[in-house]
Amino acid sequence: MEIIQNHKRLYPTAIVLYLNYLVLGVAASILGQYKQEFAAQWGAATLANGAFDASGVVWVSASLGLGCLIGSFVSGPLSDKIGRRIVSAVGSICYAVFFLGMVFSTNLQAAYVFGLIGGIANAFSNGGVMPAVMEIFVGKTAVASILTKLFVAIGQFILPLLILFVASNHMPYTTLFYVFPVLCAVLTILTFVMPFPAMTAANKDPKDQPSFWQEIKAIHFTPSSIALIIMGFTTTATFQIWVNCNQEFGRWVGMENPAIIQSYYSVGIVAAVLLTAAVVDKYIKSIRLLLLYPAIALTMLIVLLFVHHPLIAIIGGFVLGYSAAGGVLQLVTAVVSDLFPHLKGTIISVVMVMSSIGTWVGVSAAGSIASMGGNDGPEYVILFNSAVTLMSVLLALFVNISSKRHV
């Protein structure tokens, strides 16, 4: 288990670590693709139209956000104490347990527990993989962080193709839930045998390190760092609300096949990641993009609020994929981790706690708003999302103004 400083030799390690985020992209989306199948498996009631009530599947999907919230309290501090390798490997193992657990669960309660484990896997990937790749790509933390989003997008992009392959070959719907644990096992083995970068934590000896709460108390949180941490909540809520509600919005504006919105959304994510990785910190500072991208998202949401047309909904999918989900959260983690270079794992976990709360609260609130809004519920959700995104713009504006004062 070699730890080295020759960072070019570590690029294969980075690819292995990034593949955990491809798995995340699949894990976060796959239940939504098999709602009816799992609703039947978990004993859902049959509706008047003959379909199964899939609300329980949505409930299980939400458990991933709660699991990530729970795991984020320990994954980052553990990463700073015992190393990136073990924490990253635990993430891979938990993903395998999640996939297999979905297959063998016979009721919603059991599935919910395995959903929590899937969320914990996400937290351990954030706590182990993200600081590790930042330590591999020295001086390019923004690019290293944004590339995690690229692999999530790749996972979300290939999933429909894999599902089509499974269906066209008359394989069981559970096929992919056996395939991905094998990939996770391979990633776990590679994580233990490949070289890792030297940690930038101040103390590498776990015996000499303070506890998590001692570390938090010792951190000098500036107003700017607090604003960035809150952006972990608002930026996540923006794209999670859109992802979970865009299908209903598409139907509301008259689309026959609203699923196409998600396709353009994924294309927007990939475009943003590639372009941002090419220009960030080279032609434009990360902190400027933190203001620009939420401003673009807010503008698009306002257009959607007032222009109800299928074409605008499709354009909205691409633009929001680009501006809201194309790496803003990763830019937040990159900027804030640079403020605390010796506590990368811990501070990333703090941001991810806020991100998990953003998913949980944002999606839950949007669901309640949609329900209370009746037929016009999707419009009220867009209005709510606009308000959340406006908060991101104001927070980013404050961070940018503060940075100029300290130049």
- Digit-by-digit pLDDT tens for the chain (407 residues) are 444 444 678 899 999 999 999 999 899 888 877 878 998 999 888 877 787 877 787 778 878 888 998 998 888 888 888 889 999 999 999 999 999 999 999 999 999 999 999 999 999 998 899 889 988 988 777 788 888 888 988 888 888 889 889 999 999 999 999 999 999 999 999 999 999 887 765 444 555 555 555 666 667 788 999 999 999 999 999 998 898 788 788 889 999 888 788 788 888 998 998 898 888 878 899 999 999 999 999 999 999 999 999 999 999 999 999 999 888 998 998 899 888 877 777 787 789 889 988 888 887 788 788 878 878 888 999 999 999 999 999 999 999 999 876 54
CATH no., domain 7-202: 1.20.1250.20
**CATH 1.20.1250.20 for the 219-402 domain, yes or no:** yes
How many Å apart are CA 261 and CA 44, to the nearest integer? 28
Q: Where are the domains of the chain?
A: 7-202, 219-402
Structure tokens at 116: 């929590």
Would you state the pLDDT for residue 203? 43
Asked if the domains at 7-202 and 219-402 fall in one CATH topology, the answer is yes
H-helix or E-strand spanning residue 4: strand 3-4
Nearest by Cα to 403 from 344, 353, 338: 338
> Torsion over CA of 145, 148, 153 and 159, rounded to 10 degrees?
-170
Q: With contact defined as beta carbons under 8 Å apart, do 272 and 280 qualify?
A: no
Q: Return the half-sphere exposure (C-beta side, CA atoms, 13 A cut-off) of residue 393.
A: 15
* pTM, 2 dp: 0.77
How many Å apart are CA 170 and CA 167, to the nearest integer? 5
Report CA-CA distances (Å) from 317 to 63, 275, 385. 25, 18, 14
Nearest by Cα to 305 from 201, 381, 240: 381
